[in-house]
Amino acid sequence: MQDTARAKGVQLPVFEARSENEIDTAFASLVRLHAGALVVAGDAFFTQHGQLAGAKPADLPVQQACTYELVVNLKTAQALGLTIPPSILARADEVIE
């Protein structure tokens, strides 16, 4: 993962956390770094799942999209050998030529 992160120009900080205190410290560091993701390796998820998973699924807010957009990229469709029917093009919110 480190090699891929470096190739993409992304920092991938690694924190070893085996105890509750170390997990709390790691989470505090992730917040401070404005991390967008967390990868849990090893058996930490199984041994500390209550601390890592947090809220119960039933307590999590559910959001549903209100609007959808249909965007058709004709250049990509042509490169893939696809023909987009005129009825789809007429319904598209945006057509990229």
pLDDT tens readout for residues 57-67: 788 888 887 88
Return mean pLDDT, the chain: 87
- The answer to whether 72 and 88 have CB atoms below 8 angstroms apart is yes
What is this structure's pTM?
0.47
Q: Which residue has the higher pLDDT, 46 or 40?
A: 40
| pLDDT tier, 21 (very low <50, low <70, confident <90, very high otherwise) | confident
Bridge partners of 96? 73
- Residue 88, pLDDT > 80, answer yes
